[in-house]
Amino acid sequence: MAMDFFEAQARAKRRTARLVWLFAAAVGGTIATTYFLVIYGLDFAERAQAKADDITPPMSLWRPEALLCVGMVTLVVVGLGSLYKWAQYASGGSAVAKGLGARLVEPHTTNTKERVLLDVVEEMSIAAGIPVPAVYILDGEQGINAFAAGLTTADAAVTVTQGTLEQLTRDELQGVIGHEMSHILNGDMRLNLRIGAIVFGILVIALSGRGVLWSLRGFRASRGKGGGQIVLFLFLVGVSLLIIGYIGYFFGRIIQAAVSRQREFLADASSVQFTRNPNGLVGALQKIGAGGAGSELDTHRSAEIGHFLFAQGFTSMFDPVWATHPPLDARIKALFPGLDADSAKRTGFIPAPVPAKMGISPPPLSEKASDLGDISSIPLVADPLIAIASVGVMTGTHIGGAARLIASIPPALRSAAQSPDGVVALLYGLVLDSEDETLRRRQQALVVERADGSVSRVFNGLDSAFRELSPEQRLPLAQLALPALRQMPSVRVMPFLATLRELVRVEGQVSMFSFALQKLVTRALSLGGNPSREGGVQVATVEEVLPEISIVLSALARTASNEDMNERAAFAAGVSKIKDAGPRLTFLNAADCGFDALDAALDKLAGASGLVKQCVVAAAAHVVGADNQILVAEAELLRAITAALDIPMPLLAAGPID
């Protein structure tokens, strides 16, 4: 079962739209309830006054002024509450993790279990083609649980409990992380944050009522006329807000839980698809159900983040309607329909792994890429359709290839990716020209001129290691460097990005791959520090970005074409995949599709809809594969371009995507 990434993203958007209507209905019900209480109160007051005047007025159910007032006040309270919570989430996944008291796992940790956790996250991230997320641990939490949070892949954070780290085997841990990776790839993280913000906004009504009641503690009414009536009025207001708010919150939580339960089944299935080892995930679920600490969190915020979690994080008197996860037995049976979950729990029996069609792995890498000769000229994928179908897909083949690739990276560079000074030197080195020695020396001189002493020393010391790198190692190494890069002090970010930008524009001669790598790092660092800058979809149709598509395809054609396929033919191969737009796409000369133009084009395309991005990826894959093969260097260039558009393309391997 191959997952269609773009369809998954579209489903996430459709779910968001449905949720907006459902929560709007919940808020509408809250307004209606408040309105009827208000007009009843007004009627009661009017009757009391009329009784004194010996008049009996009729009760009026339609009071438009009251409805308008109640509606405005309710919407303002819910809106401000939701905005407040969204502002807390706007700093990204790390803010959510830190808000729960989680501890960041340092990239250079020497703790064995933490190292295994980082290795699993890194392998799966590289396999999926996404930036490596920050990793956190909830110390002291003995239950087995985990969650992924963030607004984009660039600011994602994966958090596990101490119990998860201590009780699970590597395969079981991989199953849990695969489940969380599914939430990242399916667009569930942003949806989770939106749901949490809206539900909190509804809860604010109840919290306002509780605040009113709390303010009456010790309140002494004046002995003057009306003092007791004021206290009574405030008490009734507080009780009414409390009841109304919790009614709205009750139904909001039901909606939240129902959506969450369905997505958990999909994430379980995706985890098995990713790892090709259902035993790992089932083993983790069985350990949760076997007793002990289970999966509950020992925090008052467990209900607030319950829909983020891998397993049920809290119990409630309103279970099962508030349960954010299906029962463990149901999840196990969904993976193994013929398995008696109760007997499996008693005996500890786990069925053998389901055989999987693994395909053909990428060419093996040795400790030194130079031992393979020119790896960039190795045909990797014969059909561009394989590259297109791989978007958002991860299998055991990809994970195994990522593990082997990480292990092949020179130790000095792997170590540099884990330290603040080392990671700056590393990324400078990754964009150095690998063919023109004169240009390379000019770039090295620029680094020495711009960088501080400690970075320069690390940079110079890594020169021989940089020369050993193959094209297939450079993009994964940049992705591995992102967690350490995110810890860079803010005052160093802009000078670093400026130097990196200048390195790929030295006389305009540096390769397009180096440019794409710089673009990926710049975008990931920018969104990682301020994910709310990702403003959603600004471009809905292909027609709005035809000039930008022309720039990208022209630049790719000029880079990827070879003696067997000229530039115009490669460009035409890509254009043919964009329906009805061919005549309006123009093959540009080199001056019109340079780095500055390409930079602006990628920025605009990054804000396009999934449908537009899907067209761009299809066209780009056919440009680099116009000669019916995609070489290693071409594949990495394609992956770097798609990564700059926030599209996860995994390591490419010959063979079908199953």
640 compared with 580, residue with greater pLDDT: 640
More confident residue, 509 or 554: 554
Question: What's the pLDDT at 276?
Answer: 79
Range from 102-111, 300-309, 556-565 carrying the lowest mean pLDDT: 556-565
Residue 380 has pLDDT above 60, yes or no: no
3-state DSSP of 239-259: HHHHHHHHHHHHHHHHHHHHH
Average pLDDT over residues 377-393: 63
pLDDT of residue 320: 73
- Domains present along the chain, CATH in parentheses: 5-94+191-266 (no CATH), 96-178+276-321 (3.30.2010.10), 396-523 (no CATH)
Pair of tokens at residue 191:
């949806």
- Of the given ranges (87-96, 504-513, 649-658), which has the lowest mean pLDDT? 649-658
**Residue 326, pLDDT above cutoff 50:** yes
- Other CB atoms within a 10 A radius of the CB of residue 541 amount to 12
Question: Which residue, chain included where needed, has tokens 């030295």?
Answer: 506
Answer yes or no: is pLDDT of 532 > 80.
Answer: no
Q: Tell me 470's DSSP state.
A: -
β-bridge mates for residue 138, sequence order: 161
225-245 average pLDDT score:
70
Q: Render pLDDT for 608-618 as a digit per residue (tens, 0 to 9).
A: 887 888 888 88
From the list 203, 375, 234, 213, the residue with the least C-alpha distance to 304 is 203
Q: Give the pLDDT band of residue 347 (cuts 50, 70, 90).
A: very low
Per-residue model confidence (pLDDT) at position 161: 95
Cβ-based neighbours of 588, under 8 Å, separated by 6 or more: 550, 551, 554
pLDDT category at 426 given cuts 50, 70, 90 is very high
Whether the per-residue pLDDT at 338 is higher than 70: the answer is: no
- Map tokens 């390379």 to a residue: 440
- Band the pLDDT of 119: cuts 50, 70, 90: very high
Which has more pLDDT, 24 or 542? 542
Contact 652, 390 (CB under 8 A): yes
Q: 438 to each of 178, 463, 474, 507, 573, how far by Cα in Å?
A: 45, 15, 21, 12, 35
Instruction: Report the alpha-carbon distance of residue 318 to residue 43 in Å, rounded.
Output: 35
Per-residue pLDDT tens for 618-646? 898 888 888 777 777 777 778 888 887 88
Q: What is the full DSSP assignment across 358-382?
A: ---PPPP--SSGGGGS-GGGSEEES
Dihedral of CA atoms 104, 107, 110, 114 in degrees, nearest 10, equals: 50
Q: Locate 279 and state its tokens.
A: 């035993």
Highest mean pLDDT (candidates 11-25, 591-605, 630-644): 591-605
More confident residue, 230 or 552: 552
How much is the pLDDT for 471? 77
Active site residue 180: yes
Q: 45-59, 227-241, 350-364, 464-478: which has the minimum mean pLDDT?
A: 350-364
Q: What per-residue confidence (pLDDT) applies to 509?
A: 62
- Gap between the Cα atoms of 394 and 276, Å rounded: 10
Q: Which of 108-122, 139-153, 181-195, 507-521 has the lowest mean pLDDT?
A: 507-521
Percent above pLDDT 70 for the chain: 80
* Locus of tokens 């009661």: 44
Q: What is the pLDDT of residues 260-295, one digit of tens each?
A: 777 888 888 888 878 878 889 999 999 998 877 788
Confidence of residue 377 (pLDDT cuts 50, 70, 90): very low
Looking at residue 519, what is its pLDDT? Answer: 84
The mean-pLDDT minimum among 1-10, 297-306, 522-531 falls in: 1-10
pLDDT at 562 over 80: no
Q: How many CB atoms lie within 10 A of CB 18?
A: 12
Amino acid at 63: R
Lowest-confidence range among 64-78, 88-102, 368-382, 579-593? 368-382
Q: What tokens does 91 get?
A: 């700093």
Backbone angles phi, psi at 111, to 5 degrees: -65, 130
Residues 193-222 have pLDDT tens digits of 877 888 888 878 877 777 777 777 666 555
Instruction: Using alpha carbons, select from 465, 447, 464, 469 the residue that is nearest to residue 456.
Output: 447
Map tokens 């004021």 to a residue: 230
Least confident of 56-60, 251-255, 455-459: 56-60
Indicate if the alpha-carbon torsion angle 534, 536, 537, 538 is positive or negative: negative
> In 303-435, which residue ranges form alpha helices assigned H by DSSP?
328-335, 341-347, 384-389, 396-408, 411-416, 420-430
Distance CA(470)–CA(632), nearest Å, equals 9
Position 157 confidence tier, pLDDT thresholds 50, 70, 90:
very high
Q: Give pLDDT, residue 15.
A: 64
Give me the residue label for tokens 């990239």. Answer: 107
- Tell whether the model's pLDDT for residue 342 goes beyond 50: yes
Is residue 405's pLDDT more than 90?
A: no
Average pLDDT for residues 604-610, to the nearest whole number? 84
Q: Identify the band that residue 162 occupies on the pLDDT scale cut at 50, 70 and 90.
A: very high
Q: What's the mean per-residue pLDDT of the chain?
A: 78
Give the orientation angle of helix 437-450 with respect to helix 453-461, to 10 degrees. Answer: 150
Handedness of CA 212, 217, 222, 228 (dihedral sign): positive
Residue of 180, 264, 304, 472 with catalytic role: 180
